[in-house]
A and B are shown apart, each in its own frame.
Chain A
Amino acid sequence: MAHPEHRADEVDEVVLHPRDVAFDWSKLPLHWVPGDPFATHVINVLHLLLPAGERWFVSVLKQALPLIRDEKIRSDVLGFIGQEAVHAEAHHSVLEHLPSQGLDPTPYTRQIEWFFERILGDRELTGKAAEEWLVERLAIIAAIEHVTAFLGQWVLDARALDEIGADPTMLDLLRWHGAEEVEHRSVAFDLYMHVDGRYLRRVRAMLVVAVVMSWLWARGVRFLMRTDPHLRGLIKPRWRDLRRTRRLGRTPGYLDVLRSLARYFRRSYHPSQEGSTEQAVAYLAVSPAARAAEHR
């Protein structure tokens, strides 16, 4: 939450549009946070989760369009869907690059694809049951978007990653993505409030999201550290490693995440209270990928 002193004067809501970005991973080092495989892999879990996760967002939100009875929300959701679709492809391009570095992500991503398509899929429901399951998934997306907006703002602020010489293309991917997450952070919440809005469903979804995401993340880090061809399982991730990377500013810490999650449980919560659209838009104006996208 940067620059609180300027909040009243800052840009808040913007019209959303996807950006046609492309990244070249041919020079990406395996440990793109130099000398810190743990921090690298904590962030790399994103590449494992997001392609399947964001494609799932797109398919759920497309189904939700007929429920919307507010032209502003519809237009926001359409911009949001396009941004998510491009995010999925961008992270997928990192996944495709990993095997050339000797790291095969498919055992993990196969499970994640199955999870989103089968467990969180349409479950072959019809009628009212299908609609309630759809609305529940909108509450899940709203909860996930709270987390992604938190992570997006974190990476926009993460100067330590520049200082240690993290790979600039990867940082641009993370910050372009993070900036768009901050830019569109209210859309899924506003959509949920429009089609349902009940507090119980909102917090129930967040409880599920918090537990499942934490578990998938820990499991993803363990998987990557074990599969990493340089580490060959010799270095095992420990819970206290995250305290070190937090202290060095290379990852968020447990308390940061918990505090952020706690805010979602306030009845007066709204995503516009989190993050800075002004900072997100400012990054997108200088992001190499976003700049190149505009005049392709």
Chain B
Amino acid sequence: MTTTRPRDYIVPPDLQGRADRDRLWGVIRYAAAIYSGVARLGQHPPVQPVDRDLHVVIERKERVADGAVSLRLVAADGGPLPRWRPGCHLDVLLPSGRLRQYSLCGDPTDRSAYRIAVRRIEDGGGGSLEVHDTLRKGDELRVRGPRNAFPFLRSSRYLFIAGGIGITPILPMVRTAQLRGADWRLVYTGRTRDSLPFLDELHALCRGRVRVRADDEHGGLPDPADLLAGTPPDATVYCCGPPPLIEGVHRLLPVDRPFHYERFSPPPIVDGTPFEVELRGSGRVLPVPADRTALEVVREVLPDVAYSCQQGFCGTCRVRVLAGVVDHRDHVLTDDERAEEMTICVSRSRGGRIVLDL
């Protein structure tokens, strides 16, 4: 993109090819030099660090379904908590240092407490086990947010589809829809009825609008067409659950049908093998395990490294490669660019060390 262009100050030709250098731009160049000089006078005030951490205390911990617990969190200083909207999540810093995101599933109008719910995942990254096994009533936690990655919009008619613990962002939406007098339906699926959190609360809101579909009662996983059957065709759809559920519903809905779903973390690494990256700037060598990306590993030592999509399409994390053979897994770089650069969010090594210009 920019690497091959000449690095000189020669003014480009004019628009009609009448002159080698555009006269007007020639004048503007001098005006810009003056502006840039003025802009560099003085000094900007020092940047003040901003601490966004909220200190909360676990006021209550309770089992809400088979393998799921909820935590009720209040501010450590007893004051009101920042307000939030349905669909918001918290970043929770667990005592082990793990950072996990959990949807807020309490009442958005209640500023005195937050509620999150966590499903126990035996073979996950360990965050849910930590919440289940070690956190206790009275423990203090640091959290950040709330932030909204699943915005809930006004509509007169909703169809909510939740799979298991995916009910957490949906529950406050249902509550708000009911409060606003909207026409809503909820299809709630999961392995068994006992594994579905908050059924009692949902039924208390309006039993007739909730349809429960448990795999063990219907002989297996749901067919997305069955989930949509009999639902109002013009309702705005909100869906949260396992990726196959979301993708199945997405495929069936016509493209002009408003469809919102909770975005999941970046897709898992396929066929990853461990390799090493060396950072030119510091000379440090970092091992990249098979189940992690170069970006994750580099970020731990260089927190200011740029990245964005984490899926290899935006190109923000492209870095010059000084040595090594790259297994390019992005779909943004051209062949010419791949000869010099890699996107560290998805691309890996074909074997051996990669030296990055960082």
Contacts and interface: CB of A to CB of B under 8 A. Distances in A.
Interaction A to B: yes
Interface of A: 6, 9-11, 13-15, 17-18, 20, 55, 58-59, 61-62, 65-73, 78-79, 81-83, 85-86, 89, 107-108, 110-111, 113-115, 117-120, 123, 125, 128-129, 131-133, 135-136, 194-198, 201, 204, 208, 219, 223, 226, 277-278, 281-282, 285-286, 288, 291-292, 294-295
Contacts of B311: 20
Given A69-B48, A196-B44, A295-B247, A111 B22 contact: yes
A71 B154 contact: no
A82 B309 contact: yes
14 contacts: A13-B147, A14-B151, A15-B149, A20-B309, A67-B47, A82-B316, A89-B315, A110-B12, A111-B25, A120-B32, A133-B36, A198-B45, A285-B260, A292-B255
Contact of A70 (B44, B52, B250, B304): B52
A45 to B, nearest CB: 13
Contacts of A132: 39-44
Contacts of B36: 123, 133, 136
Contacts of A286: 255-259
B309 A15 contact: no
A281 B151 contact: yes
Interface in B277-325: 304-309, 311, 313-316
Contacts, number: 169
B50 A73 contact: yes
B68 to A, nearest CB: 24
Contact of B12 (A69, A70, A89, A111): A111
B12 A85 contact: no
Interface string B32-64: 100110011111110111101000000000000
Contact of B45 (A196, A219, A277): A196
B85 interface: yes
Contact of A114 (B11, B149, B316): B11
Chain A interface, DSSP helix/strand/loop, else mixed: helix
A82 B304 CA distance: 15
A85 B308 contact: yes
B229 interface: no
A81 B308 contact: yes
Contacts of A78: 306-308, 316
A207 to B, nearest CB: 10
Contact of A278 (B43, B154, B316): B154
Contact of B306 (A18, A62, A72, A195): A62
Contact of B308 (A79, A120, A133, A285): A79
Interface in B191-215: none
B256 A128 contact: no
B147 A15 contact: yes
A219 B15 CA distance: 10
A18 B39 CA distance: 32
B157 interface: no
B1 interface: yes
A284 B307 CA distance: 22
A107 B16 contact: yes
B314 A85 contact: yes
B263 A71 contact: no
B50 A18 contact: no
B47 A195 contact: yes
B100 to A, nearest CB: 15
B2 A294 contact: no
A128 B12 contact: no
Contacts of A278: 151, 153-154
A165 B65 CA distance: 53
Given A78-B306, A78-B316, 10 more contacts: A17-B263, A65-B306, A85-B314, A110-B13, A111-B15, A114-B12, A129-B40, A136-B39, A204-B39, A219-B15
B218 interface: no
Contacts of A17: 149, 263, 308-309
B178 interface: no
B88 to A, nearest CB: 9
A119 B29 contact: yes
Given A55-B2, A70-B52, A194-B47, A288 B255 contact: yes
A286 B234 CA distance: 13
Contacts of B260: 281, 285
Interface in B234-266: 236, 247, 250-251, 255-260, 263
Nearest to B41: A132
Interface string B172-183: 000000000000
